[in-house]
Structures are given as structure tokens and as C-alpha cells.
Amino acid sequence: MLQAKGTGVFAILDEECVVPQGSDQGFTNKLIKQHKGHRRFDEIKTKPSWFVIKHFAGPVSYCSDGFLDKNKDQLSNDLIECMGSSTNDFIVKLFRKDVKYGEVLNKEEPEGVAGKKKKKYTVSSEFKDQLASLMDIVDLTEPHFVRCIKPNPQNEPDRYDRKAVTEQLRYGGVLQVVQVSRAGYPVRINHQECWDDFKVIASPQIVSGLKHVDDSKLRASKLLEHLAAELNVPKPLHGLPMAVGKTLVFFKLPAFERLKFARLELLVKSATQIQAAWRRRVQMGKYKAICLFTRHIQALLRGKQARSDLMRRKQEGAAVKIQSLGRQYVERRRYKALLKKVVRIQAWRKGIRGRRYAKEYKKVTSATRIQRNWKRWKVQRVYKLFRQAVYAAQERLRVHAAKTQMKKLKQEAKEVGALMAKSQKAQEQATNLRKRNDELEAVQLQLQSEKKSLQTRVRELEDALEKMKSQMDEVRAQAEEAAKLAAENSKMVVETESLKKLEEALEDKNTQISQVKEELTSMKEASAKQQDQLQDAESRYQQLLKSTAMQSISGLPSAPKAAAAPRRQTGQRNVFIQLAGAQNSGKTSLLEALIAEHDPEQLPKFNEQKSNFMAHHQIQVGDKPVKMLDCSGNARAAHLVKERFARSTWVFIVYDLSKKESLDYAVSLTHEVQASGARPLLFGNKYNVDKGAQIEVDVAAAKDAAVRAEGVAMESSLLMEAVQLALNSEEMLESQNLEPISPDGKRSAISSAIDSVKSWFGGERTGKGSQGVLRPSLKGTKAMKQARKDGDPNVDLRPVQELQDSDSAVTCICFGQERLHKAYVLLATASKDGTVVVYRCYRTEMEIAMLSDQDFPTDDSTYSYPPADHSNIAVHSRLVGHSRAITSIFFNLLEDQLVTTSIDKSVRFWSIESGEMLKVFTDSSPVPVAAFLPFNPQVFVAANSNAVLRLVNVTNGMVLQKLKVETEVRALKFDDTGLFLLAGTKSGSIHVLEASDANTLKFKFKVNLARGGVTCITFVPAANGQPPCLLVNTSDCSATIIDCTYGPPSGVLNNLAVRHRVRVAHELLPLKNCYSPSGQGYLISGSENKDVHIYPLGKGSNYKMQPLKHHQVPVVAVAVNNQDTLLASADSLGRIVLWRRMDFSHLPD
């Protein structure tokens, strides 16, 4: 009924697909007409488009809607030709080997026999061919069938629907098979298997007697007879329970189950004995361990008792020593009284002799003074003449040096002007190329439309030609029939007029056919010409794209954005009072009045640092020194001010009583001050009110805001009242003694002992420690979750993007502008060939969700969305200006400029907004590294290869200070207090310099670290119970974790101590490292063995190295963004890899 030729369901369906204007309803009508009355077929009269086929398992209703479309399964010829012209050989072979698509792709091959219709391939015809092929294969094999039973219609585990399962077994014929199997011998095994399986349950005497029997059949028969009698095997009503054949042994099911259960019982008993022996051994091991632990605890208790005895003896010795000191004091006082009397007598006698000597000495001194004045006058006259000559020589030398410098500056100005002109010319060329690109695209679209219209016209002409051919064949057939009739029936009179008409019609048709052929030929020629034009336009378009790409690679500057703030740091509080508030709120005037009243010697330093964003001051108030930090109200420096909250004990937020907006800004800062752990004080400045201005703020609202933030509010025109309140508070006492310290400045022995005991048991365990480096920022797939390995903390860390702008090695990378744009962050990369590329790294949905409670000042719709290619990475700008390798790259404090240092002896400043070079500072030798002073954005320190540190003012280019170091400085880093600069040298030592004010550096101390040179220093603030530390890369194949010791006094860096050294493949390249605050912190470093090395810094982690393998060459630089969700690694071939941690929390376990 289904496969019958002509009348089958599949044949009728194929026929309806071929028939013109075939429909699904017509298919149903033909089926009903053909099979009406068939025992396997039925119709539904209420549903005209439905029919029923009665299968073996039961009747099934079918709706014929859409049968024809699904059966045709057609693809358009354009799509088939597109896939056939693919550059992938696999796809081309796949389409050309398929019979359906081969007709379209193999047009050039000769067609089959003329007039033979091509077979139309449909889904049903393919199904029949595949089924026939399967049956041919099955006929050549011995099939075995597996019945799959669906336990319940709801697809739920551990639930069985008895009715549904029984129906499936009945329809599948399984019950009949079981009944037939039970009626015979369902279990059949050979003789040797019977002996091997059941000899274990027979008596040993029988087994030993039958072991030497060579005939396996006889041996199996004897064994079964013994077992039947021994185990009382049940006998069936008909036949034997067991039978031994020539090659097999046959069992009834009850007999086989009796033997099987007896063997299973024996196996259970044997397993129980083995388990008992093993458990005895395990418990014996536990007992020995308990004994060992008990002896260890006893030893610890005896040690404690011995220490208490030693303490008692020390106390007795101290008492004896105190008694001896008391007796010593009494005797010393008696001796001093006697000595005083003797000295008085000696003084009387020496006074007489001294007065005599003084009289004589005065006379000699007067003579000497007269001689000295005479000699001085003579030498001074010669010196004045010599000084005038030196001044004249210096003036000439300075004029010559100034002229030389002027020539250099003019030459640099010419180079910068030429670069700018070249850049403008390149931009104009790019604009012209884009216009030309648009014109070519329009021409291409027009040619494509003309091509489609020509192809349509060709199809219409071909159809007309076929119709004319069919008509011509019919006319010829009629003419032949007429000729035959005329020959056979010579007696009949043929109408000559009709014959002539037929001949004329035949000639007309021939002329029409020739005309159609000529028109078809001309259309084909026109189509070929249009195709050639289209290919020519496409080739020109591809060439234009290549030229445009090459020009973009060569470096056309674009408009970058402003920079983001660095992440918030925490540590010990080294500032007692921090002054913050809106601009023009009067905080600087209040501080100046306080300094003038209590410590006027600090006024010159205060006036010098007035213009800085932040300035440190130590003011003597009474007998107490007070450390204060004056912060600017500039909105661009707001993120820097907020970061200092965590380093301050008190934060005075100043607002003007006559300006309402200043109070609103102050109230917004109180919440962030409270969150950082500092205590806020809302200070209302009454200066303008005292001058006669109106009070426009709600003082009660200010006090309520201060109370909600666990702070204080007050109004005054003198800052001393607030300072006195802070000095009298309990926070002052707490800030002076935060942790129990031993007399030598280290932690107490009890704290060290507690830490050592914790380390025995694996250190501190926190929930974050098991997560691994980076926070999850990208949702993973189910396949990723199934493929990952348990136990590896970095198995979810995956490379998500690869960037490569050139084959030159990347020397350094850094992130920036993370607090200015919600949609993306900037990644700046510098190369050995002197180019700088800035990328926009767009945030993922999870990263944006983490920032939902933060406000961003910049909302630039131009770059708010990723590029159209879904890469989430875009080139922000290319900065071209350096001629040799770049040694360091960093953003300035406000992150609106990018600073680069290079071997070409220059330090260059670039605008992130416009991408142009703002300033160039040249040196006498290559510049390895530079850094801004944290509290003065107008001053930076730069090191050169001549071992000289220069303090330079950015505004006027003036060198404020020069410091000579023993060897070349290759790494610079300020600590989080901003007062100490750490300089790593080529010889492996670290110099600590103190920024005593905003324009001066002075050496404090030096630490010799390693034999190899220092290539990178990263400062890590105090966190997770660990002190502040440094992460240092040195070229002696190691990375070092160094603890920083502050105080006393509080906030002063006194010592650097090595905590641990880890192994890193580092000998030749200047490798970089970075820090990730995930969990208890991680050190991430590049290496020369092609891996990214990750070391956990938490207690009890043993600093076990966790490698990331993806690069094929040494990894030079690494960087982590402030959000701790994105890791960038760069290698010596210019490839940059971005890493993210996958999140699988949204997937079911």
C-alpha cells in the first residue's frame, strides 16, 4: 500500500508534486479514490484533508497540509551555485556528488538521451531508495534486534507506566517471544562454560574426580547429575530440567535459576570474607595513626609545661636582679655626693689657672685676627677678577648651547608638521577611497539587478522555444499522417487548400524558431558581457578593500575616549584627616588659616602645593603632629579623591552654607566614606554667611545625613574646632596602635605561632579561594561544562579573542578608562617597532550587570555598541611617532592622556580624545621607564640608561631635580600611600625613595634582591590578612613576593622583606607581571617557556604554579583590568590573547 508503483502512497505523493497546480487536497482525494475500501486505509469525513492508515501498532491519522512542500524539499538554483563555487573542497564535493544538485552544477556535462525526462528527486523517493539499500544490506547479514521501551509518556526518571509498557511489549511481539522461549530451553551454553561456571558449587571430591576427564560432554553431564541431586533442582511437568547435547547444554529456566542462585550465594560469602580482611587492615592503619597523633599531642603538652617552668624561673631571676639594682642605686647616690664635693674643690683651683690662660689666649687671638684680615683682602681682590672672567665664559657657553637647542627644536617642529600634513593627506585619501568604494558598490548592485533580469528573460525565451518545438513536432506529425493517407488512398481527393495551409504554418513555425534562436543567442551574449562586467567590478571592489585595509594598518589616527579610574585600594590608614568637598567651598582657605595659626613654618610648602590635585601636610597642633591630605574638588580627579578614603581615619567633607549644591555633593560623598571604613564629618563653612550671605542649605538635613553615615556634622568658620574634635575621639588612639607589635617592630610571637599552626592545617579557607583567578564574566555552554575537568581551578579560564596588528613583539600593555565608559574599556599595546595601538574592549552582559550601581560621566553613543562583526573588539586609534622599541606605557592620573617611553630617547604624551601627539620630552640616552607623582599630575619622574632619575614638570618641561643611582633603573612604582617610590635596577636591587613633597625625591634605603636585573614591580595593598607586598620579576629565573613593613611612625615604609620566591623561566626578555585580587590574590607573570604563570598568594596555597597554555612563543607582558574580569597576555610575535572565566551557574547540574 505504501511502496506500490503507481498506486502506493509515496507514488501518488510524487505524482502530485510533478503535476502542474498540484495541491495537498488533491493528494488526499487521490488517496481516498485509490484505496477506499482497503482494510489498512480509512478516511475522516469531517476533515477533508485528513486520512488514516492502520499500522501494525494501531491506526494513525495524518493531515496532508504541507505534504507537497515538504516532499519537494527544493533549494534555489542561486543557492546551489553559490555552494558549488565555494572555496571549501568538502562543501563542493558534497553538492556535486548529490544527484539533486548535480543537475544544476554539472550543466557543462552532456545530457542523457534526447527527449528523456529527468527524474525528480523528492523526500519520499529518497526514503524509498534508502530503505531499499538498507534492506539489501540486512538481507546479507544476521540481524539481532534490540527493543527500546519508553517507561512513561512524561519522560520522567524512575517512573514506570505499567499500561503503556505492556502495550509496547504486546505491539512489539515481545510477549509472544517470551512465551515461545519459556516453552523450550531458553538458556544454552557450551560444555566448557558449563564446567567453568558451576564447578565452584559442587563438592570438592566430585570436582577433583572429574577434573581429569578429557571428554567435556561427559564431564558436564556428570557435574549436572551431581548438582541436580545436591541442590534438588525442580523437575518440569514435561521433559527434563537440563539436557546435554553434542556441543551445548540446554537448561529450563527454573533449573538454571536454581544453579545461578547457588553460585551467587557462594560468591557473596567469599566477598564478605575478603571485605572483612580489608576492613581489618584499614582500621589497623587508623589505630596506628591515632597512636601517633596521641604521642604528638602529649609532646606538645609537655613542651607547654616546660615553658611554664622556664617562665617561673625567669620571674625568680628578675626578682633577684631588681634587688641588686636597688642596692646599686643606694651606693651610687652616696658615691655621687662624695664626687660632687671633690669636683667643687677641683673647679676652684682650675678657675684660677684658667683665668690666667684666658688673658694670654686673648692677646694671641687678636694678633691672629689682624693677620687673617690682611690675607683675606689680598685673596679677595684676585678672586673678584677671576669670577668676572668665569661669568663671561659661562655666558658664551650658554649662548652656544641655547642656539644648538633651538636648532633641534626647529627640526622637531618641522618633523611634527610633516607628520601632521602626511596624516591629513592620508585622511583625504581614505575619504576619496570610501567614496569610490560606495560608487563601485552601487555599480555592482546595478549590474547584479541587470543580470537577474537577463536571466529571467533567458528562461522565458527557453520556455517559449520548448513550446514552439512541441508545436512544430505536432505539425510535422499531422503532415506525415496526411501524406500517408494520400499515398494509401490514392482514390480519395485531398483538399489542396488545407495541405497548403499546413505547409505555410510549418514554414511560419520554422521562421519563428529561427528568430527565437537568434534572440536567445544574442541574449546569451549580452548575459556573458554583463557577467564579465560584474566580475571586473567585483575584482576592482576587492582591490579597493585591500588598499583601504593597508592604509588603515599603516596608521590613521582616530578619536579615543577619556580614561577610567584605577581600582579602589585598601590598606592601613596613614592619613588622619582628609579634606574633600565641592569646588569653591572654601576648604583650602580653611586649611591655610589653620596652618597660619598653628604651624606657620609650613605655609611656604602649602602655597607651593596649592595647585596640585592632592597635597600631604603634617601640621603641629599643640604637641601632636596631624597628617592631613588636601584634595581638590575638580570633577576629573573625583575618582582619585574617593580612592584615598580607605587610607584615611577621618574625612572632613566641607560645604558652603550659602550654596545648596555644595551640600548635595557632600551628602553623596558620605555614603562612600562610610563604605570605605572612614568616619565622615560634614563641615559647614560659615565664612560667606559671616560676610552677610543668606543660608540656603538645610542644616538639619546635613546633620541627619551625617548621623545616617555614622559621622558628625558641625558648622563653623574655623577648621580647628573640627580638628580638635577628631583629636579627642577614640579613633586617634586606635590609629596609633592597630596591632600588637613586639619591641623590635615585628608581630608578636603569639600571632606568629597562631599563623604557623593554621598553616599546618592548610591555612585559611574561604569561599573565594576555590574560584581561581578572574571573576566570571561570560556565560558558558553546556558542551563546555561537560568537557571541563574537575579539580583544576583554571579549567573555566578560556581564551576568547586573539589580536595581532603586526609581527613585531609586544613589549608592554595596560588597561584604562574603566570608570568613564560603561560599554567598554581601553587596552593600550606597545610594540618593538615603535607603534602603539589602542583597542576598545566591549564589556559583556555580566560585566555590565556588575556595574549596575555605578554612574559613568561619559555617555558617547558613537562607541556604545560593539562592531557589526560581533568580535567585541575594535581598534580605537593607532599612535605613530616613536622610531624604536617602546619600553613602558601608562595612562596619566586623569587618564585623558597616554604616556610612552622609548629607546629613541624620548617621552611622548598622546591625547586619548584626539589621538594626536601633545608633547615630546627628549633625553640624552634611552628611557626605560617613567611614572607620575600620585599627588601632582604636572610632575613625572623618568629614568635613563645613564642611571639618572629626572623629576620633570610637564607644563614647562623644566627639570626640577636630578638623582644619580648606582646603575640603570628599569622599573618604577609608587606604593598606595603615594609617598614612597620603589625603583628596580639592572643589578637586581630595589631603591626606596621618599617623595617628601610634590617636587622633591630623596633616598631612604636600598635592598639587594637578586643577581639578575629587575624588569617589573607591582605593588599589592594589604588584603586577606596579608601585609602590603611587592611582586617583582627578575632575570635570574624567579619572581619574588616582598613584604612591605610600615611604621613606626605610622605610614612610613621602613623595611622590605622577602616572603617567597617562585620559579619563572626568565633570562633574556623584559617580562612583566600583574596582580589579580580574586580570592586571596594571584601573581600573574609572563614567561619564556610560552605559558602564562599564575601563583596563588593565599595562606596555605604553597604558591603552586598554575599554567595557561595557548601561546606558541614566549609571553612578554600581562595585564588585568580593574574589574578583575579580563586578562590580556602578549607574546614576542605580536599576538595578544584575551582570557575570560566562564560562568556555568545558569546551566542545570
Residue 902 in this model has a pLDDT that exceeds 90: yes
The lowest-confidence range among 53-57, 556-560, 713-717 is 556-560
Q: Which residue has the cell 617623595?
A: 995
DSSP states of 667-717 as a string?
HHHHHHHHHTT-EEEEEEE-HHHHTTPPP-S-HHHHHHHHHHTT-EEEEES
Residue 111 in this model has a pLDDT that exceeds 80: no
Q: Rounded to whole angstroms, how far apart are CA atoms 395 and 199?
A: 119
- Provide the pLDDT for residue 287: 95
Q: Which residue has the cell 590574590?
A: 1081
- Provide the pLDDT for residue 2: 75
- Provide the pLDDT for residue 107: 62
Residues 438-449 have a mean pLDDT of: 77
What confidence tier does 330 reach under pLDDT thresholds 50, 70, 90?
Answer: very high
Residues 68-94 have a mean pLDDT of: 81
| Contact status, residue 813 vs residue 1130, Cβ threshold 8 Å | yes
Residues 109-113 have a mean pLDDT of: 49
Q: Rounded to whole angstroms, how far apart are CA atoms 992 and 1002?
A: 9
Q: Which residue has the cell 570610501?
A: 434
Q: Rounded to whole angstroms, how far apart are CA atoms 861 and 192?
A: 83
- Provide the pLDDT for residue 542: 52
Q: Which residue has the cell 596619566?
A: 892
Tell me whether residue 505 is exposed, middle or buried, using C-beta atoms within 10 angstroms of its C-beta: 0 to 12, 13 to 18, 19 or more. middle
- Provide the pLDDT for residue 160: 86
Helix (H, G, I), strand (E, B) or coil at 624: strand
- Rounded to two decimals, the pTM is 0.48
Helices 253-488 & 496-555, crossing angle to 10 degrees?
Answer: 130
Top-confidence residue, 194 or 786: 194
DSSP states of 949-978 as a string?
EEEEETTT--EEEEEE-SS-EEEEEE-TTS
What confidence tier does 863 reach under pLDDT thresholds 50, 70, 90?
Answer: low
Helix (H, G, I), strand (E, B) or coil at 889: strand
Asked, as a colleague might, if the bond just before 926 is cis with ω within 30 of 0, I would say: no
The lowest-confidence range among 784-793, 824-833, 912-921, 1057-1066 is 784-793
First CA to last CA distance, the chain: 49
| Contact status, residue 542 vs residue 428, Cβ threshold 8 Å | no
Helix (H, G, I), strand (E, B) or coil at 770: coil
Nearest Cα to 1100, choosing from 762, 822, 654, 631? 762
Tell me whether residue 667 is exposed, middle or buried, using C-beta atoms within 10 angstroms of its C-beta: 0 to 12, 13 to 18, 19 or more. buried
The lowest-confidence range among 45-54, 80-89, 478-487, 992-1001 is 478-487
User: Contacts for 159-164 with beta carbons within 8 Å, 24 or more apart?
Assistant: none
Residue 418 in this model has a pLDDT that exceeds 80: no
Q: Rounded to whole angstroms, how far apart are CA atoms 170 and 149?
A: 11
Nearest Cα to 816, choosing from 1111, 561, 531? 561
1119-1131 pLDDT per residue, tens: 999 989 999 999 9
- Provide the pLDDT for residue 340: 93
Residue 74 in this model has a pLDDT that exceeds 80: no
Q: What is the 3-state secondary structure (H, E, C) of 9-63?
A: HHHHHHHHHHCCCCCHHHHHHHHHHHHCCCCCEEECCCCCCEEEEECCCCEEEEE
DSSP states of 145-196 as a string?
--------TT--TT---HHHHHHHHHHTTHHHHHHHHHHS--EEEEHHHHHH
Residue 162 in this model has a pLDDT that exceeds 50: yes
Tell me whether residue 213 is exposed, middle or buried, using C-beta atoms within 10 angstroms of its C-beta: 0 to 12, 13 to 18, 19 or more. middle
- Provide the pLDDT for residue 599: 83
Indicate the fold that domain 776-1143 takes in CATH: Methylamine Dehydrogenase; Chain H (2.130.10)
Residues 1042-1060 have a mean pLDDT of: 87
CA 814 to chain centre: 14
512-529 pLDDT per residue, tens: 777 777 777 777 777 777
Single-letter amino acid code for the residue at 807: D
Which of the listed CATH numbers 2.60.120.10, 3.40.50.300, 1.20.1250.20, 1.10.290.10 matches domain 575-734? Answer: 3.40.50.300
CATH of domain 184-251: 3.30.70
Helix (H, G, I), strand (E, B) or coil at 94: helix
Rounded to the nearest 5°, which phi and psi values hold at 685? -80, 120
- Provide the pLDDT for residue 678: 86
Helix (H, G, I), strand (E, B) or coil at 838: strand
Per cent of the chain over pLDDT 70 is: 86
Residue 761 in this model has a pLDDT that exceeds 50: no
Indicate the fold that domain 9-139 takes in CATH: Methane Monooxygenase Hydroxylase; Chain G, domain 1 (1.20.58)
Residue 301 in this model has a pLDDT that exceeds 90: yes
Residues 480-509 have a mean pLDDT of: 62
- Provide the pLDDT for residue 838: 92
- Provide the pLDDT for residue 254: 82
Nearest Cα to 575, choosing from 125, 1067, 199, 1049? 1049
- Provide the pLDDT for residue 968: 92
Angle at 563 between CA 557 and CA 567, to 5 degrees: 145
What separation in angstroms does the CA of 593 have from each of 681, 717, 718? 19, 10, 8
Helix (H, G, I), strand (E, B) or coil at 762: coil
| Contact status, residue 1097 vs residue 1083, Cβ threshold 8 Å | yes
Residues 207-213 have a mean pLDDT of: 85
H-run or E-run covering 655: strand 648-656
853-862 pLDDT per residue, tens: 777 775 555 6
Q: Do domains 184-251 and 575-734 have the same CATH topology?
A: no
What lies within 8 Å, CB to CB, of 665 at 6+ separation is 581, 582, 655
Q: Can you read off the three cell numbers belonging to residue 446? A: 546595478
- Provide the pLDDT for residue 547: 42
Torsion, Cα 220 222 223 229, to 10 degrees, reads 140
Residue 172 in this model has a pLDDT that exceeds 90: no
Residues 895-911 have a mean pLDDT of: 91
- Provide the pLDDT for residue 826: 92
Residue 738 in this model has a pLDDT that exceeds 50: no
Residue 508 in this model has a pLDDT that exceeds 50: yes
Torsion, Cα 489 491 495 498, to 10 degrees, reads 10
Nearest Cα to 1033, choosing from 1096, 1108, 1102, 1116? 1116
- Provide the pLDDT for residue 1050: 74
- Provide the pLDDT for residue 309: 94
653-678 pLDDT per residue, tens: 898 888 888 888 888 888 888 888 88
Domain coordinates in residue numbering, the chain: 9-139, 184-251, 575-734, 776-1143
- Provide the pLDDT for residue 488: 58
- Provide the pLDDT for residue 354: 92
What separation in angstroms does the CA of 773 have from each of 802, 923, 1074, 1095? 20, 40, 12, 9
789-812 pLDDT per residue, tens: 766 777 888 999 899 888 889 999
Q: Which residue has the cell 571549501?
A: 88
Mean pLDDT of all residues belonging to the chain: 81
What confidence tier does 737 reach under pLDDT thresholds 50, 70, 90?
Answer: very low
Q: Rounded to whole angstroms, how far apart are CA atoms 507 and 818?
A: 85
What confidence tier does 746 reach under pLDDT thresholds 50, 70, 90?
Answer: very low
| Contact status, residue 1097 vs residue 1131, Cβ threshold 8 Å | no
Top-confidence residue, 454 or 1010: 1010
Q: Which residue has the cell 566562564?
A: 1142
Top-confidence residue, 631 or 993: 993
